[in-house]
A and B are shown apart, each in its own frame.
Chain A
Amino acid sequence: MKRNATLYYRLRHWILRGLLYILLIGGAVIAMLPFFWMLSTSLMTLGEAINGQWLPKVPQWHNYIVAWKEANFSEYFVNSIQITLITLAGELTFSILAAYAFARIRFPGRDVLFGVLLSTMMIPAMVLVIPNFLTVTWLGRVGPIKWINNWPALTIPFMGSVFSIFLLRQFFAQIPDDLFDAAQIDGAGHWQFLWHVALPLVKAPILVITVLSFIGSWNALAWPLLVTNNPEWRPIAVGLYTFIDEAGSELNLQMAGSVITILPILFLYFLTQLQFTESIARSGLKG
């Protein structure tokens, strides 16, 4: 009798586990399918691509070379790296400082200011396009360097990220006061505490911000098109756009370009995967 019950529980366990795996594999397949399609299409002829085939008869490896050349990726790739690094460095610097201030320094109106800052997340990005454009145009006229068609317009507006400040502030706020008190007894001020104690504890959210900021800058299209007039500072997404015209698109080259475009993002993600997942889990964020 006992043996039967054990067998039943084991069987139930394996069936449930099997169902779980089927579900997870199904989810993984659904998630991977677009990537597979992108890779497969990138190796097809145009005819195979627009005829909706799943696999190329003969892989067209030269699509990558054609895409690289025709989309002017040599120039756009370098531009994207520069834009992304500047934005990332600025966003991390300002977000860390602002988040720390909101979390650990008491000053009049702190919570109201933080509330106002958070409320700006409710404003749709599209609404801000024209005001931002006018602002950067004006700054270019009155400032010492030009903004339009130059790195400031492409990077500075994205250095103040409310989401990053919010995320880091939540992590800074979780650091026990005892640690700060102990550091204070040892003679540390806010700067020392931030550098020596707080920042090492928030590595995971910093990596999340790094990945998200990187993806945001790397994939940007509408704003760069608006604030640049020629390829001098245009990012890689603009290059991808050249494969589409009003009567059709060269899907195979577009996908080859897409593979080239997402490689740095994939590389960064795999590099920071562990911390990224940990941070997402701890902060309760969802995609």
Chain B
Amino acid sequence: MSRKWFVVLALVALVLPLALTGCKSTTPTPEAPKATEAPAATKAPAATEAPTEAAPESPLGVKPEDLQGVTITFWHVWSRGTGEQLQKLVDEFNATNEWGITVVAENQGGYDDMFNKMNAAIQSGELPDITVGYQNQAAAWDQAGDIIADLNPYINDPVYGLSEEEVADFLPIFWEQDVMGDKRMGIPAQRSGQFMFYNVGWAKELGFDKPPVTPEEFQTQVCAAAEANNNDDNPDNDGTGGYIYNAGASVIAGWVWAFGGDIVDAEGKYTLNTPEMQKALEYLYDLKQAGCAWQGVNRYPNPEFATRQALVTTSSIAGIPYQAKAMQDEGSTDEWTLIPFPATGGKPVMDIYGPSFFVVKSTPEKQLASWLFLKWFTAPENQAKWVMASGYFPTRSSTVDYLQDYLTQNPQYAAGFNAVFGGEVELKFEPRDASWNAVRGAIFDTISKVFAEDFTKDQIPALLEDLQKQADELYAEYH
């Protein structure tokens, strides 16, 4: 190896970075904003000569001209189609907002990446102005650094806030999800729901005219489907046909609610060792033992559903396009739809979840600018554009006025939409505690054992005792 070679290498190491620094634009690092409390209502409206005609004054203490030229950074998790639509909406806001606010939207990967990045950013102080995440993630961020601004002063502001009608337009359960104690942590960005995909066409052939409503009906139908596959001429599909189970926390929560239980108590503490939880697990265990439920090979059991290897699978609303594609590619003409989990009494319960927007504490101007963007983004006409790109539920009821064509063209989405917005189901959301992410993992790991070959039904009580202990420990860790 010659000296020349080594010198070249060393020069490349030293010169290339400097050259590249020159090549790329070097946007100065924005200064870490100084965290402030949400502006308090410190200023009473100024007395005027004609109070009845006076325009309301904002107690936030920020004049419209103070917003001119304010740039806010918006960290999000959407890419490709939804990311492009988001950027279009951001561009539209930047071009049309009356205050001269500029929003810079930056994708930060998935929700887990965002969670980790925010945790790191809390330590370094290099935070965005708006972020997206699940409620339990935001609770953890706020717990770690007291960084989330209370949105109540903004929502209630007479100038910049929302009217009572606008607030009432948000689906109450969605709206409620972001309130923790007296603090409004965020506003809902979009929502999804845990549904079941149900093969209507095949069910009719099996003699069932309507989807199952109770666990007993569910069992009858999935067992009939399994029996049909076992008795047909095709040996390859033996052992399939019923329900494809998984031990994900959202699915398990759905089943616990189906049996009338809950996974948290009124204080928000986990209740995982309950008679209802036991009933749910025994039910799933029995289904599996009877050959009416089985574990699919794919993470998303779209192919199994499309090829009649499952009468029912579980999915979120966002899984519809993937299922539709699988049906199309398999050449399946089966009619299929979305149904809620069965219920033992009254309305079926549906697990509703989804990310929210959170404003990070910074300067009064930036916080207000962030709020104004979010207010604009969640307006029905803008939300409709977002829904059509993302396939998620809107958060405001009046968005439906802009979605008529979309609902007609997407019958499965319409079925889910009508269930949620038509009041056909009782909506419940998952725990918002900072420990929920960890508890979700514990639920999956523990409940998976129920479906192991050597597991017996009499082991369920001990398993639940262990699960409760794990959840209690995790809860204590975060409090």
Contacts and interface: CB of A to CB of B under 8 A. Distances in A.
Interface string A83-120: 00110011011001000000000000000000000000
Given A195-B6, A200-B1, A148 B29 contact: yes
Given A129-B120, A140-B29, A247 B315 contact: yes
Nearest to A231: B107
Contact of A230 (B20, B106, B120, B330): B106
B88 to A, nearest CB: 16
Interface string B107-121: 111110100110110
Interface of A: 45-48, 50-52, 70, 82, 85-86, 89-90, 92-93, 96, 129-130, 133-134, 137-138, 140-141, 145-146, 148-152, 155, 159, 194-196, 199-200, 202-203, 206, 222, 225-226, 229-233, 238, 241-248
27 contacts: A46-B329, A47-B326, A50-B298, A51-B302, A52-B303, A82-B20, A89-B13, A92-B13, A130-B123, A146-B29, A150-B24, A151-B21, A159-B13, A195-B1, A199-B1, A200-B1, A226-B117, A230-B107, A232-B24, A233-B24, A241-B110, A242-B83, A246-B110, A246-B111, A247-B300, A247-B319, A247-B322
A183 to B, nearest CB: 13
Given A233-B24, A241-B110, A247 B316 contact: yes
Given A133-B123, A148-B126, A229-B106, A86 B306 contact: no
Contacts of A203: 1
Contacts of A194: 6
A231 B298 CA distance: 32
Interface string B1-12: 111011001101
Contacts of A206: 1
Contacts, number: 146
Contacts of B322: 46, 50, 247-248
Task: Give the secondary structure class of A's interface.
Answer: helix
B330 A51 contact: yes
B10 A93 contact: yes
A150 B21 contact: yes
Given A92-B9, A93-B10, 18 more contacts: A46-B325, A50-B326, A51-B302, A51-B306, A51-B329, A51-B330, A86-B17, A92-B13, A134-B123, A146-B26, A151-B20, A152-B17, A194-B6, A225-B109, A225-B113, A226-B116, A233-B24, A247-B319
A203 B2 CA distance: 11
Contacts of B330: 47, 51
B20 A196 contact: no
B16 A85 contact: yes
B307 interface: yes
A89 B17 CA distance: 10
Nearest to B307: A51
A246 B117 contact: no
B109 A238 contact: yes
B28 interface: yes
A194 B119 CA distance: 45
